[in-house]
Every structure is written in C-alpha cells, then in structure tokens.
Amino acid sequence: MQRATRLQRELALLATEPPPGITCWQDGKRLDELRAQILGGADTPYEKGIFDLEIIVPERYPFEPPKIRFLTPIYHPNIDSAGRICLDVLKLPPKGAWRPSLNICTLLSSIQLLMAEPNPDDPLMADISSEYKSNKQLFLLRAREWTEKHAGQ
C-alpha cells in the first residue's frame, strides 16, 4: 500500500514537473513496471539521442532500489550490452548509496548525469573504459555513431 501511494505520487510529479530531458510513465496497468526516456545531453556524444529505459520497482521499494536498465543500446563504459548500469545509487549499502529518501526522478537524473560524465574508474565495460581513458576522441566518435544508429529519431 505504502509503495503504491508513493509510486503514484512520484509518477504524478514526473508527469507535471519532469526534469529536463526526462520522461517516465507507467507501462500498461502494472504500477511496478515503468518506462522512461532520457534525451542525450547537449555537448555529449549522446546529443539528439532518445534512450529508452525499463524500470522494475521491487516489492520492498523504497527500502530497496528499483532495477533500471537501458533498452536502447548505448556505447558507455558504465553501461553493458544488456543495458545494466553501474551506478552507486542503484545498489544497496554497503557497496551502494541507495537510501529510501531517493526516488525514481533522482535516479533518472543521476543516470542522465552519468551519460554526460562517465566514470571510467568503475566500469562495466573494461574495453570501452580503457578507450575512454587512452583515446577519448575515438570513444566520442564511436559513442556518436552508436547514438545515431540506435537512438536517432
């Protein structure tokens, strides 16, 4: 009950006051399955891309973080080919930084920030991470190509 009320409140807020470049909605009738879209930020290799994400809200939410993954392929050191995201706020302590005071809006904003500023020191994709560190121009080129191919309108 508490989860449903909170989710409805969060979704209403996301609908009326969404963060710039982020939309989120209920996928069908189920309140625990959400979809989101993040627009690639200006001056990033993801610019003009539209990235679809899946959000699965666990039974214990907000005491457990939602599972979020990219459905749109993205060339990024912290996001793997299955769309899984390496981000501390998506994990429970002690390894993660999830707290019940965080919400889906905060998580999506954090993912949008991660897209703009990858963390090559905590990669899911070691090869992309080393490319990001050693040859950033090549990384940017490939990330732009992937964005045009997979996330272009």
Answer whether 83's CB lies under 8 Å from 38's CB: no
- Is 24 known to be catalytic? no
Question: How many other β-carbons are positioned within 10 Å of the β-carbon of residue 109?
Answer: 17
What are the φ/ψ torsions at residue 71 (nearest 5 degrees)? Answer: -95, -30
Q: Dump the DSSP string for 34-100.
A: EEEEEEPPTTSTTTT-EEEEEEE--TTTTSSPPEEEESS---BTTB-TT-BB--GGGS-TTTS---T
Q: Which of 7, 53, 74, 86 is catalytic?
A: 86
3-state secondary structure of 9: helix
d(Cα 27, Cα 46) in Å, to the nearest integer? 25
44: tokens are 């990033």
Q: Which residues are catalytic?
A: 86
